[in-house]
Structures are given as C-alpha cells and as structure tokens.
C-alpha cells in the first residue's frame, strides 16, 4: 500500500499540460496544505517544546537526525540557532545520512544504513539528557528509525516528525508529530509541501523552545549573536526598543556589554555597570524579564 505522501494527487492529473501561470498557481496553492498540517499538529508541537525545555534547561543538547530533504531541513534549523539565539554550538548536533557531503549532493542510499545512525550518535556521545528531533517525511527511513530507537534505549527524549500518520517513526518516537500533508502535486516529491510543513514545524518548535529558555523578551530577539554589521544594527535597534534610550546611549551600553543585548538592556533599565548587569541576569537564570522585575529565576 502506498504511503499518503507517495500516492498520486487527484488535483492536477494533467499538470504538464497547464500553462506556466496555471502551473505556478497549482504548485503555490498546494503549499497551503502544509500550514494547515502544522496547525493541526500544534498540540503535539507544544508538548514537544515543553518536554524539550525540561531537558535543555538542565544542560541537554539539541540533536537533529534526518536523511535527504528532511535531513537538510534539520541541519538548516539547527545551524540558525547560534546567530539567532546564541545557542551554544557545543550543545547542538546536526546529523544527516551520508554525512556533511549529503547536504550538497544527494546520497539517497545512505538513508538505508541503520548502523550508520547508531555510529553517528555514538560518535557524538548521545545521552539521556539530550533531545533528539528525528525527521522523515515517509516515517519509514531506516537511518532515522534506527537512530530514534537508539535514543530511546539511552533515555533521551525523542521527537519524531513525519508526514504520514501512523508511520513507524510516529509509533517509535516518544513525542510523535504527524504532519498530514497528503499526496504531493508532483506525486512523491516530498521536497514540496511535505518539506514545507517540516520547515514550518521546525521553525515553530525551535522558536518556542528558545522563547521558553528566555532567549526572547516580549517579542524581541534579545539573545542574538552580533557577528556582522547588519546584526550590530539589529542589536542596537532592539536595545533602543527595550529601553527607550537614545541610540547613542544604547550604543555605549552595547560597547560596554560586548554586544550582549540582554546585558545592555539591564544596564540601561537598572542603571548598572556591565559586570553588575551580568550578575543580575545570572541570578535571574538568564531571564531578562525576571532580571528587570527582580523576580529571580522563572
């Protein structure tokens, strides 16, 4: 029996006969199913976020595991956490079947290598404190299933994201996230709306985790890593928005805070030096809100 993601779409059986404008419209319109699938999976994503935060708050790592398109999307989500939220690189592992070269050239046969998944996770010393995000559109990829089973044996938290409800990955993962996107407009091409749904769910899940870990104040990205001129301008703007200070004052505070936005905000709001501001933040468990309100860790 064909998986839902592999079944022929009934919407556009003559896709190749469409005019180019109609072809573009058909491909674009089909993507709306991806968003609806993520919205339907919201309760599972919320549970995944809450359970992940429990582990990560105690020092666990985020580990992404996938193959092909799913693996590349996992790597993309993971590597963006450093500049966006200053997530420590030593607390991030991104694994794709076939290794780093598979990011740039398809290595489809690698997804069948069950032993490689265990070997990859062993090499990175996966342990019970970690959070594994396992990705497979089909939910049947041997590399991903083997890695998820290994994570379960170690006591790590396993979150499985698949586009086929009832798939082996969703039955195996401790927190299953079913993204029911159905058949693709180009039959079987899960780089389309199945991939879009995975990208949205990863954005949603990792962002929610980072909010809960105090990387966001209000809706301001206050824990970004300033690594270029654009991000320096963004850090300055965020500091001004959070404090109401003049740009000149904010820039002085950022300089003293070594471009740490949270520290600069506490300095300006509480009239403290950079070392004192860092101490207040540490006492508040890294929560800018708690630091400003004097509430201690939250």
Could you give the residue numbers annotated as active site?
80, 111
Q: Does domain 229-293 have CATH number 1.10.8.1080?
A: yes
Question: Going by C-beta distance under 8 Å and a sequence separation of 6 or more, which residues neighbour residue 156?
Answer: 63, 126, 127, 128, 129, 130, 131, 132
Name the DSSP class of 9.
P
3-state SS class at 294: coil
Strand ranges of the sheet holding 92-96, from the earlier edge strand across to the other edge: 92-96, 62-66, 131-135, 157-162, 175-178
Of the candidates 110, 28, 32, 24, the residue with the CA atom closest to the CA atom of residue 71: 110
Evaluate if residue 297 carries a pLDDT over 50: no
How far apart (Å, rounded) are the C-alpha atoms in residues 61 and 281? 22
Q: What tokens appear for 126 in the block?
A: 């996966």
Evaluate if residue 296 carries a pLDDT over 90: no
Predicted confidence band of residue 298 (pLDDT cuts 50, 70, 90) = very low
Evaluate if residue 3 carries a pLDDT over 60: yes
What is this structure's pTM? 0.92
Residue 283 is predicted with a pLDDT of 94
- With 0-12 / 13-18 / 19 or more C-beta atoms within 10 angstroms meaning exposed / middle / buried, residue 283 is middle
How is domain 4-212 classified at the CATH fold level? Rossmann fold (3.40.50)
Evaluate if residue 190 carries a pLDDT over 90: no
pLDDT digit string, tens, across residues 272-289:
999 999 999 999 999 999
Q: What tokens appear for 225 in the block?
A: 């890593």
Q: What tokens appear for 82 in the block?
A: 């450093």
pLDDT digit string, tens, across residues 27-70:
999 999 999 999 999 999 999 999 999 999 999 999 999 999 99
Q: Where in the chain is the domain with CATH 3.40.50.10490?
A: 4-212
Mean pLDDT value of segment 89-108: 88
Predicted confidence band of residue 290 (pLDDT cuts 50, 70, 90) = very high
pLDDT digit string, tens, across residues 141-186:
999 999 999 999 999 999 999 999 999 999 999 999 999 999 888 9
Q: Where in the chain is the domain with CATH 1.10.8.1080?
A: 229-293
Q: What tokens appear for 247 in the block?
A: 């740009």
How far apart (Å, rounded) are the C-alpha atoms in residues 249 and 95? 43
Question: Going by C-beta distance under 8 Å and a sequence separation of 6 or more, which residues neighbour residue 53?
Answer: 209, 212, 213
Of the candidates 44, 72, 71, the residue with the CA atom closest to the CA atom of residue 201: 44
């Amino acid at each position: 029996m064909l998986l839902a993601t592999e079944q022929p779409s009934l919407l556009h059986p003559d896709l190749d006969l469409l005019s180019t404008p109609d072809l573009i419209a058909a491909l674009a319109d089909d993507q709306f199913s991806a968003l609806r699938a993520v919205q339907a999976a919201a309760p599972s994503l919320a549970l995944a976020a809450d359970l992940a935060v429990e582990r990560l708050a105690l020092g666990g790592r985020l580990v992404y595991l996938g193959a092909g398109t799913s693996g590349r999307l996992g790597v993309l989500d993971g590597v963006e956490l450093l500049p966006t939220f200053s997530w420590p690189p030593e607390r991030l592992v991104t694994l794709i079947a076939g290794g780093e070269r598979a990011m740039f050239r398809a290595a489809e046969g690698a997804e069948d290598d069950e032993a490689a998944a265990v070997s990859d996770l062993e090499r990175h010393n996966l342990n019970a404190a970690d959070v594994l995000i396992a990705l497979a559109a089909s939910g049947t990829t041997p590399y991903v299933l083997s890695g998820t089973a290994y994570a379960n044996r170690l006591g790590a938290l396993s979150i499985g994201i698949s586009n086929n409800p009832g798939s082996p990955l969703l039955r195996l993962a401790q927190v299953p996230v079913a993204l029911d996107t159905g058949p693709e407009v180009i039959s079987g091409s899960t780089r389309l709306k199945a991939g879009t749904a995975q990208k949205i769910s990863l954005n949603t899940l990792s962002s929610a985790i980072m909010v809960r870990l105090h990387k966001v104040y209000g809706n301001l990205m206050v824990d970004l890593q300033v690594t270029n001129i654009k991000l320096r301008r963004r850090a300055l703007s965020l500091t001004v928005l959070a404090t109401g200070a003049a740009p000149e004052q904010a820039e002085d505070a950022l300089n003293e805070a070594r471009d740490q936005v949270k520290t600069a905000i506490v300095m300006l709001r509480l009239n403290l030096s950079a070392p004192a501001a860092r101490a207040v933040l540490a006492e508040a468990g890294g929560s800018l809100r708690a630091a400003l309100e004097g509430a201690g860790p939250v």
